[in-house]
């Protein structure tokens, strides 16, 4: 009975030794890597501009207001073409019509309802072009139409780059090369060399305005307000050590 107990204890000790040995080996192998983060950055100029505005009119009857919108629409179209914007680059959306009311108060200053005052009409237009310089200039000068009696609202242009996929692929390559260089330096200082890649993870693709203090976003920034842009990406790579 006593011998059997010793045998069981001996087997238990062997099993524990094997388990601990494997755990130590796994821990050693898990730590036998170098983890680095590489960075890829580049600046580029937008090659597509999207600029929009809106024509507005108010009138006692919808037909008169619509006639004003149509007259102003023709002035805007002619103005853009004269300034070098192709007619096919300009898209006018449908005319939105809404009834306008003004609040009515009684002698005591209490609200007594509302009174119909007429119609408000609004037509949005968009210009999309690769001729960034021309459209950018026109967007700054469009207010000159106000002198012609055109009721117009103009918004800031949005800038895009049509070859963004190529930029992204190039940054991945740059960031990966940067990560490898960092890993090689770390390994050399430790008297060893890097081996194969154990894992790789791409960071968030960020596009910000060039020469700005724009902050990065956890979900990725996508700047459209700046013509000059900066793209940034990181690669987190884990290398085995030889």
The 10s digit of each residue's pLDDT in 168-204 is: 999 999 999 999 999 999 999 989 999 999 999 999 9
Confidence of residue 28 (pLDDT cuts 50, 70, 90): very low
**Residue given tokens 């950055």 in the structure block:** 41
CATH of 31-45+163-241, one of 3.30.43.10, 3.30.110.170, 3.20.20.370, 1.10.3720.10: 3.30.110.170
Q: 14 or 39, which is more confident?
A: 39
Specify the pLDDT at position 31.
60
Q: Where in the chain is the domain with CATH 3.30.70.2970?
A: 48-158
Instruction: Name 195's Cβ contacts closer than 8 Å, sequence gap at least 6.
Output: 239, 240, 241, 242
Confidence of residue 213 (pLDDT cuts 50, 70, 90): confident
Report the mean per-residue pLDDT for the chain. 88
- Strand intervals (E) in the chain: 33-45, 48-59, 90-105, 111-129, 152-154, 158-160, 194-202, 206-209, 228-241
Specify the pLDDT at position 242.
85
pLDDT, average across residues 46-69:
96
* 60 in Cβ contact with 196 (< 8 Å): no
pTM, 2 dp: 0.79
The 10s digit of each residue's pLDDT in 124-145 is: 999 999 999 999 999 999 988 9
* 205 in Cβ contact with 233 (< 8 Å): yes
- Note the CATH architecture for domain 48-158: 2-Layer Sandwich (3.30)
């Amino acid at each position: 009975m006593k011998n059997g107990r010793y045998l069981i204890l001996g087997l238990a000790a062997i099993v524990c030794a094997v388990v601990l040995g494997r755990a130590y080996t796994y821990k050693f192998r898990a730590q036998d890597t170098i983890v680095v983060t590489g960075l890829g950055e580049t600046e580029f100029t937008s090659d597509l501009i999207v600029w929009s505005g809106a024509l507005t009119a108010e009138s006692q009857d919808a037909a008169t207001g619509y006639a004003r919108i149509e007259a102003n629409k023709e002035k805007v179209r002619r103005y853009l073409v004269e300034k070098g914007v192709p007619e096919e680059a300009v898209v006018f959306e449908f005319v939105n019509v809404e009834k306008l009311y003004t609040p009515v108060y009684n002698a005591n200053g209490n609200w007594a309802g509302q009174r119909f005052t007429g119609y408000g009409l609004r037509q949005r237009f968009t210009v999309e072009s690769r001729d960034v310089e021309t459209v950018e200039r026109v967007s700054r000068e469009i207010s000159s139409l106000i002198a012609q009696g055109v009721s117009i609202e103009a918004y800031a242009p949005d800038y895009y780059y049509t070859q963004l996929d190529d930029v992204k692929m190039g940054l991945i390559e740059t960031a990966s090369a940067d990560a490898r260089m960092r890993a090689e330096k770390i390994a050399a200082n430790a008297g060893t060399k890097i081996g194969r890649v154990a894992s790789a993870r791409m960071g968030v693709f960020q596009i910000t305005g060039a020469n700005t203090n724009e902050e990065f976003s956890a979900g990725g920034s996508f700047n459209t307000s700046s013509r000059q842009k900066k793209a940034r990406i990181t690669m987190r790579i884990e290398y085995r050590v030889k």
